[in-house]
Amino acid sequence: MSLSLLHLPSLQKCSSPLSPYPSLPPCFHVPCSERRKPRAIWSTSISCCFPQQLQQSVVVVERNATSPSVLLSERKVVRFGLPSKGRMAADTLDLLKDCQLLVKQVNPRQYVAEIPQLSNLEVWFQRPKDIVRKLLAGDLDLGIVGFDTFSEYGLGNEDLIIVHNALGYGDCRLSLAIPNHGIFESINSVRELSQMPQWTAKPLRVATGFTHLGPKFMKDNGFLNVTFSIADGALEAAPAMGIADAILDLVSSGTTLKENNLKEIEGGVLLESQAILVARKKSLIEQKDVRDRTKEILERLEAHLRAVDQFTVTAHMRGSSAEEVAGRVRSQPSLSGLEGPTISPVFSKHNGKVTPDYHAIVICVPKKALYKSVQQLREIGGSGVLVSPLTYIFEEVTPRWKELLLKLQL
């Protein structure tokens, strides 16, 4: 749910219920005729406002998540949301840079930027949860966030669509954890936890920031008596502080849990997460520029992520013909390449005669199999082995793009 500030000429106190925001006073009602119209038509519910004496002309507006502040038909520029801070921010910029999509930001406190290679596209830096909220509200068309954030704040809304589900960083899992001592010492699974007699007399207290996924998971796992305390960070402290019995939070290395005497339990992983590329379905369907920019970003990401674990290896090899050299190369398990070796003759001159004594072979090998591949190349007579990194491996078609078009029925 997003909040915007809107300047209004005058306010009238209304008889509606108390403000949903505890720190704010009862609602004020603004007659429709007096609302200064923002740049587009949108349905708003005015929830509450600041005291007139403090801020006479400002009200807080709760915007319907499905009503964009600037209607898509008015906004022609494609908006791409990237994490503004936190652990996803730098890795996202690095990945885009590796795909030759350099984000040009004038200074780190400026929240709008551009990618010169992508015309008619604005980058907006936002906190990951706000990227999802703004995609839902139609204020962004594309975004990169963790799958956990997408699941928590996307609320299963069908207007969001995952374009790339595995960008290869931000790996973590959302997991239920309990103390590794005291009454929990012998508890090793969610089932055992749910069956502890303690939770008949009093509720199991869970600390989490995942207020949508958390309660759903506990309910699905048969916990009938649960209360939640909400915190944004350092949740691992809650059990030791006596605030909670269990926590539901992100785990990556497991160090924070261990350092706070907590443990994960069997069946306690809600989801596995990594960075993903998400789009607003409506924008993709209605705007060609959104589709074109998405396709280019996706193609570059797919081709780069396919290439990132591979090296190109070239070597020279003696042989009477390309077929004979190919036979030798193919006999080695680590040298089969992506689609078999590329072999071309190297013409050298002996006694005035030009002959293809050598052949140059080019193969792609997985980075982790590099040394083995070089050894095998040498065994079959390879020399002058050159190894270079790969930026992209473009296939004839981009599988994820094909899938996306199918899902969008385009």
Ligand X SMILES: O=P(O)(O)OC[C@H]1O[C@H](OP(=O)(O)OP(=O)(O)O)[C@H](O)[C@@H]1O
Ligand Y SMILES: Nc1ncnc2c1ncn2[C@@H]1O[C@H](COP(=O)(O)OP(=O)(O)OP(=O)(O)O)[C@@H](O)[C@H]1O
The CA distance from 206 to 244, in Å, is 5
- Taking a C-beta distance cutoff of 8 angstroms, is the pair 234, 196 a contact? no
Query: What is the greatest pairwise CA distance in the chain?
Result: 104
Task: Identify what 146 binds: ligand Y, ligand X, none; CB under 5 to 8 Å per kind.
Answer: ligand Y
Contacts 24+ apart (CB under 8 A), 377-382: 377/313, 377/315, 377/317, 377/332, 377/335, 379/332, 380/317, 380/328, 380/329, 380/331, 380/332, 381/317, 381/318, 381/319, 381/328, 382/315, 382/316, 382/317
What is residue 289's three-state secondary structure?
Answer: helix
Q: How far is the CB of 309 from ligand Y (least distance, A)?
A: 20
Q: Does 404 bind ligand X (CB under 6 A)?
A: no
The CA distance from 359 to 376, in Å, is 16
Q: Which of 118, 250, 313, 329 binds ligand Y (CB under 6 A)?
A: 250
Residue with tokens 């390879």: 382
Q: Does 251 bind ligand X (CB under 6 A)?
A: yes
Site string for ligand Y, 328-357 (x = CB under 6 A): ------------------------------
Q: Does 170 bind ligand Y (CB under 6 A)?
A: yes
Closest CA to 65 of 161, 158, 128, 164: 158
For 150-164, letters b (16+ CB in 10 Å) and e give bbbbbeeeeebbbbb
Task: Identify what 249 binds: ligand X, ligand Y, none; CB under 5 to 8 Å per kind.
Answer: ligand X
Number of H helices, E strands in the chain: 12, 20
Q: Does 249 bind ligand X (CB under 6 A)?
A: yes
Q: How far is the CB of 92 from ligand Y (least distance, A)?
A: 10
Is the CB of 260 or the CB of 398 nearer to ligand X? 260
Is the CB of 53 or the CB of 255 nearer to ligand Y? 255
Site string for ligand Y, 68-107 (x = CB under 6 A): ------------------xxx-------------------
The CA distance from 366 to 371, in Å, is 10
The CA distance from 382 to 377, in Å, is 5
Task: Identify what 255 binds: ligand X, ligand Y, none; CB under 5 to 8 Å per kind.
Answer: ligand X
The CA distance from 124 to 112, in Å, is 5
Q: Does 154 bind ligand Y (CB under 6 A)?
A: no
Q: How far is the CB of 210 from ligand Y (least distance, A)?
A: 10
Q: Which of 33, 43, 253, 388 binds ligand X (CB under 6 A)?
A: 253
Q: How far is the CB of 154 from ligand X (least distance, A)?
A: 19
Please give the size of the binding site for ligand Y, defined by CB under 6 A.
Answer: 15
Q: Does 149 bind ligand Y (CB under 6 A)?
A: yes
Choices 65-73, 167-175, 295-303, 346-354; region in contact with ligand Y by CB under 6 A: 167-175
Q: Which of 158, 232, 259, 323 binds ligand Y (CB under 6 A)?
A: 232
What part of residues 7-36 is at the interface with ligand Y (CB under 6 A)? none
Q: Does 233 bind ligand X (CB under 6 A)?
A: yes
Task: Identify what 234 binds: ligand Y, ligand X, none; CB under 5 to 8 Å per kind.
Answer: ligand X
- Taking a C-beta distance cutoff of 8 angstroms, is the pair 30, 48 a contact? no
Question: Residue 406 — φ and ψ, nearest 5°?
Answer: -60, -45
Q: Does 373 bind ligand Y (CB under 6 A)?
A: no
Q: How far is the CB of 98 from ligand Y (least distance, A)?
A: 19
For 107-123, letters b (16+ CB in 10 Å) and e give eeeeeebbbeebeebbb
- The contact set with ligand Y (CB under 6 A) reads 86-88, 128, 146, 148-149, 170-172, 232-233, 250, 252, 273
Which residues would be at the binding site for ligand X (CB under 6 A)? 233-234, 236, 249-256
